[in-house]
Structure 1
Amino acid sequence: MKKSQFSLLALFFSLMLLLSGCFSGQKETTTTPEKKDDNNAGQTEEKEETPPAKKVLHLNNNEEPGALHPGLAQGTHDSWILEHAFEGLTKKTPEGEIVEGMAEMPEISDDGLTWTFHIKDGMKWSNGDPVTAEDFEYSWKYVLNPESASEYAYQLYYLAGAEDYNSSEKKADYPKLEEKVGVKAIDEKTLEVTLVEPTPYFLDLTSFYTYYPINKKVQEANPDWALEADSYVSNGAFKLTEWKHKESMKLEKNENYYDQDKIKLDEVQFVIIDNEDTAWQMYQADELDLVYPLPQDVQGQLVDSGNAEFNNGPDLAVYYYNLNNDVKPFNNKKVRKALSMAVDRKTITEHVAQGGQQPAYSIVPPGINDVSGDFQENTGELFKEDLDEAKKLLKEGLAEEGMDKLPEFSILYNTSEGHKKIAEAVQEMLRKNLDVKVGLENVEFQVKLDREKAGDYQISRAGWSGDYVDPMTFMDLWVTDGPFNDANWSNSDYDKNIKIAKTSMDPKERMDAMHKAEEILMDEMPIIPIYFYTKPFMVKPHVKGIFTPINRYPQFIYADIEQ
């Protein structure tokens, strides 16, 4: 049910925004008094023209960014900022096409291994420095440096020598291993990239934030440059000019951006709010121009309402639960499958999430091409909900672990009313269907991520948005010792199929290998898929030009505000 009054937090933000004059629809103007010249008394005085109002977009980010350094970021609360403050060798159009970004389209060798990019003339950082090929080489090697501890370093393993360098444990070997990494600035404008194997989706990867450049001179002079707005340097359409930690952020149009004539917004102001109800109330009060995500009950009311401000579409993302395979009895396949079979996904999507989501009986979402057709549609349902089978498997699995009853355990989730409601639904389903006691624990998002990495949980809420449009962006998450394999699961046959899919030049062979790997994953059930996301958000009528790539948050780079 929608709250009828503002919470204290909502009231705080309302007052803050009121005092700063930052209401949506209000335009910042500068009025200049009429000039008076005492030497020309009696003459008609002329008024100066009032400067045009600034175009300011107001929206919410649902978490404090964990890292706004492209090489260290790992979540959508980070990437939403990075995608507008930085630009890679390539970028994506509103239609989803990959086009030139900082560089011209690459020259590719006949064997598909060598890619040569030429940085375009006039590319600059927000501080005026030229963007160079060396910046790209430096940034990619920064990600791979073991001392950087980048969670996303594996996304660069497509480069020759990258995995050897990143996985090295001998500091003395770092220089020679770094030299062998397949990225080299031939000169100031030419970047040569050498891949381990031909990679069909590598061009897509060059638009992903881990592949963004960082300013080498800035990084070397101040390793903490990305922690505060006053030292922040980027190369995208916007620059970060204000960061009140855990409160708000401000982006301003980057006057050094090469395509600045296409950028219509002067400022983008974020408030950082982890409560969907508060953000929704601020949108209703015209304090936000765009709100995402929405409270689940609001989504349910809007899905079929015909409201012109409501937008919804597919999202290349899956909502799931990690089962910590290192914790007994979740190490037992039968116990894991029993829990999954006892969850009613249709009830969750229709009565809890309420955003038109599709129940998930596999892990790869719709929207990715197979050799023919859609990969997910070709996969179909790899398991079914079955209470009788769930009870049978749970009994057998517990007996194998020397247990009579599943001990009480907790579901860990990051603070969000939506995640809480889903966790409560799962909690009740497991209690009712399997007589299992489940506790709930909510923490800040970054705390959740840290605890998952440390293995300090039993079951945790998770979600994954595709980094690029290929099944591999999901399938390589659960390889043995993978950096995002928070379930701590390992299967040699799974690893073998992922290896085939990553190295094969035959499209059918690589897609078949990923289908086989997905079948193994769902048979072993180290994670419990719940649903495939949609992307419901609200945007005011005066805001034009918002677009939503299938694997990105709503993009405002080309947005405009009607005045």
Structure 2
Amino acid sequence: MNKKRLLSMLALILIVSTVLAACGSNNNREGGASNGAGKPAKAKEQVLHINMSAEPPTFDPGLAQDSQANTALKLMYEGLVRLDDTGKEVPAAAESWEISPDGLQYIFKLRKDAVWSNGDPVTANDFVFAWQRVLDPTTTPAPPYAYQLGYIKNANAYNAKEITDFSQVGIKATDDHTLEVTLENPTPYFLGLTSFYTYFPVHASVKNNAAWATDYKSMITNGAFNLTNWTTGQKLEYTKNDKYWDKDNIKLSKIESSLVTSGAAELSSYKSGQLDYAGAPNGEIPSDSIPTMKKNLPNEFAVKGIASTYFYEFNVTAKPFDNVKIRKAFSMAISRQDLVDKVTLGGQIPAFGFVAPGIKGVKDEFRTEYKDNFFQENYEEAKKLLAEGMAEEGYTTLPEVTLIYNSSESHKKVALAIADMWKNNLGVEVKTENLEWGVFLENRQNLNYQIARAGWTADFNDPMSFVDMWKTGAGNNDSGFSNAEYDQLVKDAMTSQDNAVRMEKMAAAEKILIQDEQVLMPLYYYTNVSLTKGNVKGISVNYSGAIDFSRAYIE
């Protein structure tokens, strides 16, 4: 066979082989079996498609306070440590740390290969700058989580303007790669707290750029991904940060997130193959679709109990809910079991307390050791309390009542169901109002409401994550509640070195919050309901329900 003919035949074989390979591959993004839910993703295309049902209100770690921002910021930034799937602290910006025998001093050694997305080294001074910015009483708007740094020596005093010299605060950069932190009291969960977004470093360039967190092109970050596209109200795009110190273990090249508020639309996108993941905590699967998804997609559907509570909060400064008997009447006049059995349908657990199951206690979990039996549902007693409260206030008819909730089909269903229970069981008409996420948060923070939907996910595995937020003036206390006895119990729990005493103090504080004052109306303890394509691996949902997509990949 001559050389020319041989080359021609080889070329023909190569062409045929290429065509056959193309025919055998799946050119749709979703590859692999999907049980009829839609086409699976290409095995080699490391682009993950998700949905966030609301746009993060901020990309500023110092101002963040919600689950949408939490998910976004975990991709873009990295704290001293991060939490693995089990909730254990693993090295992140800090490669190692030492804790003094008395538990008061932490010395973090920062890794020397960590750099910002612009190439600048990540230094201990970046953490000092970020933390001082959160604590600075002149920072505007005021960071809602400033109290989360209150475990650090003199941090609360600096934030309250009791001292003005920041050098007295227990935060020191002893050199570029050593951060020394001194606490007020031993705090067993402090190390885990440094994985929280309020503790993230911030690049010093933000001092000269007031709008830095509103323009993705000016964001300098230190995490696994950079925000590379942001179309307001439509989509967010994160691209792998090639300067990230652990880039070799980041397999995704990109994460694309739609911004769709409709759970039905999100589910439809998942079933058609446009999404690789759907559901909590940033999106939702419509409750009436849960039984079908559970049956038809058993390998993709997942329900996980998490340390998170769904509740309504009362504005205790607004009429008629400045009367505790009226607050108690509203809380007692609904059926939580009917709510989870007939409306939410996701295996949620009726809640009669605020601290969720799964949180550590003295020897077991807190909720096992301290039962959530602070009140009982009793429609007749509710009517009696309502009448007594109205008489105390001089009402012949109850003032108009409005319940606000953020845009979501599931929140709407819950709101309508509860409003119907109030009408049938209490004889009270309640108006429901749907608000866009940012507007909703602003109204709640400014006490521009009577009753508001709320949810709380543990920031760290201790009951303190649930009780310290209701201290007088705390950044996440959107109820107007202020109680000196409550504040003292929280303070005592923070300063005690006896874990059993700590738990007793926090249990007593929860009793004031729920049983005595009924500041909150607990509804149920969350579950995380989600759908994940079979060839998508590495998505991490921890004990609290917080999600991390940074280590995900597509097989």
Calculate the TM-score normalised by the size of structure 2: 0.89
1:527 maps to what in 2? 520
Runs of 4+ in 1 over 6 A off after TM superposition: none
Query: Partner amino acid for 1:427?
Result: A
Confirm whether residue 136 of structure 1 aligns to residue 124 of structure 2.
Answer: no
Confirm whether residue 395 of structure 1 aligns to residue 387 of structure 2.
Answer: yes
- Kept in 2, the 8 Å contact 1:139–1:213? The answer is yes
Deviations 1:208-228 (A, max 9, x none): 011010112x22343322212
2:403 maps to what in 1? 411
Deviations 1:406-449 (A, max 9, x none): 22211011111111110001100000011001001111111111
- Kept in 1, the 8 Å contact 2:315–2:478? The answer is yes
1:16 maps to what in 2? none
Query: Partner amino acid for 1:324?
Result: N
1:276-315 alignment runs, 5 A limit: 276-292=263-279, 293-303=284-294, 307-315=298-306
Query: Partner amino acid for 2:222?
Result: N
- Kept in 1, the 8 Å contact 2:29–2:45? The answer is no
Picking from 70, 80, 86, the partner of 1:95 is 86
1:200 maps to what in 2? 188
Confirm whether residue 263 of structure 1 aligns to residue 250 of structure 2.
Answer: yes
CA distance in 1, matches of 2:161, 2:435: 33
Confirm whether residue 109 of structure 1 aligns to residue 100 of structure 2.
Answer: yes
1:47 maps to what in 2? none
**Across the two proteins, how many residue pairs are aligned to each other?**
511
2:127 match: secondary structure: helix
Confirm whether residue 452 of structure 1 aligns to residue 439 of structure 2.
Answer: no
CA distance in 1, matches of 2:425, 2:178: 61
Deviations 1:64-96 (A, max 9, x none): 111111111111111101111111000111222
Picking from 198, 203, 221, the partner of 1:210 is 198
Picking from 416, 419, 426, the partner of 2:418 is 426
2:35 maps to what in 1? none
2:417 match: secondary structure: helix
Confirm whether residue 232 of structure 1 aligns to residue 232 of structure 2.
Answer: no
State the Cα RMSD in Å: 1.8
1:147 match: secondary structure: coil
CA distance in 1, matches of 2:461, 2:295: 28
2:10 maps to what in 1? none
CA distance in 2, matches of 1:100, 1:311: 29
CA distance in 1, matches of 2:428, 2:208: 55
CA distance in 2, matches of 1:129, 1:60: 32
1:186 match: secondary structure: strand
Aligned-pair identity in percent equals: 42
**Structure 1 gaps, min length 5:** 1-21, 28-51
1:119 maps to what in 2? 110
2:540 maps to what in 1? 547
1:332-371 alignment runs, 5 A limit: 332-371=323-362
2:90 match: secondary structure: strand
- Kept in 1, the 8 Å contact 2:226–2:241? The answer is yes
Query: Partner amino acid for 2:173?
Result: A
Confirm whether residue 536 of structure 1 aligns to residue 529 of structure 2.
Answer: yes
1:184 maps to what in 2? 172
- Kept in 2, the 8 Å contact 1:303–1:355? The answer is no
CA distance in 1, matches of 2:244, 2:91: 14
- Kept in 1, the 8 Å contact 2:319–2:399? The answer is no
Picking from 149, 153, 157, the partner of 1:160 is 153
Confirm whether residue 252 of structure 1 aligns to residue 239 of structure 2.
Answer: yes
Query: Partner amino acid for 1:310?
Result: F
Query: Partner amino acid for 1:547?
Result: S
2:14 maps to what in 1? none
2:12 maps to what in 1? none
CA distance in 1, matches of 2:103, 2:546: 31
Picking from 419, 428, 433, the partner of 1:441 is 433
Deviations 1:368-397 (A, max 9, x none): 121122111222222110111111111111
1:19 maps to what in 2? none
CA distance in 2, matches of 1:448, 1:546: 29
2:82 match: secondary structure: strand
1:39 maps to what in 2? none
- Kept in 2, the 8 Å contact 1:24–1:288? The answer is no
CA distance in 1, matches of 2:44, 2:361: 48
User: Higher relative contact order by CA 8 Å / sep ≥ 6: 1 or 2?
Assistant: 2
Calculate the TM-score normalised by the size of structure 1: 0.88
1:91 match: secondary structure: strand
- Kept in 1, the 8 Å contact 2:31–2:535? The answer is no
2:540 match: secondary structure: coil
Picking from 50, 67, 71, the partner of 1:80 is 71
Query: Partner amino acid for 2:202?
Result: I
Structure 1 residues 322, 164: closer, same or farther in 2, change over 3 A?
same
CA distance in 1, matches of 2:226, 2:439: 27
- Kept in 2, the 8 Å contact 1:337–1:390? The answer is yes
Structure 1 residues 552, 128: closer, same or farther in 2, change over 3 A?
farther
Is the deviation greater in 257-266 or in 403-412?
403-412
Query: Partner amino acid for 1:162?
Result: A
